């Protein structure tokens, strides 16, 4: 489980995250929702050590992640898939996947590739193709697959649905849900697409201007009309 306490972070004078506290339970999907600029990306970047917090802490299964180097976090099982589907377009699908396992002591095993390819048949068909030719949905699958090659216990996903066709979004979300159920993977799913995210999430938190304004079971958030209109845009 990922335990976030009083997390506060700034860009110069701009406070982007202000005293955010919540727990992402093991084997569950926690949706982090809120409008553009609410602080969702900053939250993930702070948890994964890319931004140094002004105050607050993050614990992964009781271990303090503060000031831990990124490779140590990866070894502890934290994987971050940033916004924007950052595949290496000059490399093949296979090579992109292999990069995901570099931090592991045993590197990649053939079985890990097969597992990712069986989850994403669209990638399986294009193992040797350079990533440049992939569609947006395929690139999103590739960055998620690359993160899974590190065998994470906690997966941080930043806007995986952005710009994808609804059918592809459903496919990717179903897969993420499956991983929490089969592997006990803990997922923090950042989304502006609150309706879709709440349909697969177990719990949700809502950010507004860097502050946490609501947290509840996903069903309860989706049923709260006032909250939906004020912060979730549906
Ligand atoms: N690199 C940056 N420099 C300065 N301000 C930033 C930077 N990145 C984000 N911000 C500001 O921090 C706030 C939160 O942004 P962000 O975490 O990207 O929100 P979200 O992901 O919810 O859209 C916004 O006010 C945004 O303008
Ligand atoms: Mg963002």
Tens digits of residue pLDDT in 64-79: 998 788 788 888 899 9
3-state secondary structure at position 67: coil
| pLDDT at residue 108 greater than cutoff 80 | no
Of 76, 68, 75, nearest to 49 by C-alpha is: 68
The count of structural domains within the chain is: 1
Give dist(CA 212, CA 207) in Å, integer. Answer: 5
Determine which residue's CA is closest to atom 11 belonging to ligand 1: 16
Give dist(CA 21, CA 6) in Å, integer. Answer: 5
The pLDDT of residue 98 = 92
- pLDDT > 90: percent of the chain: 84
Q: Which of 6-20, 84-98, 99-113, 195-209 has the lowest mean pLDDT?
A: 99-113
What average pLDDT does range 94-122 have in this prediction?
87
3-state secondary structure at position 195: helix
Q: Which domain holds residue 146?
A: 2-232
Rounded to the nearest integer, the mean pLDDT of the chain is 94
The half-sphere exposure of 38 on its side-chain side, counting CA atoms within 13 A, is 22
| pLDDT at residue 228 greater than cutoff 90 | yes
- Ligand 2 centre to CA of 190 (Å) is 8
**Global confidence as pTM:** 0.95
152, 78 contact by CB (below 8 A): yes
CA distance to 25, 26, 56, 94, 202, per residue, from 53 (Å): 22, 24, 7, 36, 27
Tens digits of residue pLDDT in 130-177: 999 999 999 999 999 999 999 999 999 999 999 888 998 999 999 999
CATH classification at residue 177: 3.40.50.300
Among 11, 209, 232, name the best residue to mutate to test ligand 1's pocket (greatest count of ligand atoms within 8 A of Cβ): 11
Among 7, 12, 15, 16, name the best residue to mutate to test ligand 1's pocket (greatest count of ligand atoms within 8 A of Cβ): 16
Determine which residue's CA is closest to atom 24 belonging to ligand 1: 37
Question: Cβ(182) to ligand 1 under 6 A?
Answer: no
Could you tell me what percentage of the chain is helix, strand and coil, using 3-state DSSP and rounding each to the nearest 5? 40, 25, 35
- Ligand 2 centre to CA of 76 (Å) is 25
């Amino acid at each position: 489980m990922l335990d976030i306490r009083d997390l506060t972070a700034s860009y110069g004078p701009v406070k982007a995250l202000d005293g955010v506290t919540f727990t992402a339970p093991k084997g569950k999907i926690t949706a982090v929702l809120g409008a553009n600029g609410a602080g969702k990306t900053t939250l993930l970047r702070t948890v994964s050590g890319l931004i140094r917090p002004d105050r607050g802490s993050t614990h992964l299964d009781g271990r303090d992640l503060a000031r831990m180097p990124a490779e140590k976090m990866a070894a502890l099982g934290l994987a971050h898939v940033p916004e924007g589907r950052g595949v290496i377009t000059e490399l093949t699908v296979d090579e992109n996947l292999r990069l995901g396992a570099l931090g592991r002591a045993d590197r990649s095993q053939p079985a890990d590739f097969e597992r990712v390819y069986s989850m994403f048949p669209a990638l399986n068909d294009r193992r040797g193709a350079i990533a440049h030719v992939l569609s947006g949905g395929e690139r999103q699958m590739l960055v998620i697959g690359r993160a899974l090659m590190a065998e994470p216990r906690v997966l941080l996903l930043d806007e995986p649905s952005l710009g994808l066709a609804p059918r592809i979004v459903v496919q990717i979300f179903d897969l993420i849900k499956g991983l929490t159920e089969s592997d006990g993977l803990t997922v923090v799913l950042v989304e502006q697409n609150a309706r879709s995210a709440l349909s697969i999430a177990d719990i949700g938190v809502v950010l507004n201007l860097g502050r946490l304004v609501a947290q509840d079971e996903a069903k309860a958030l989706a049923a709260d009309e006032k909250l939906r209109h004020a912060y979730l845009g549906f």
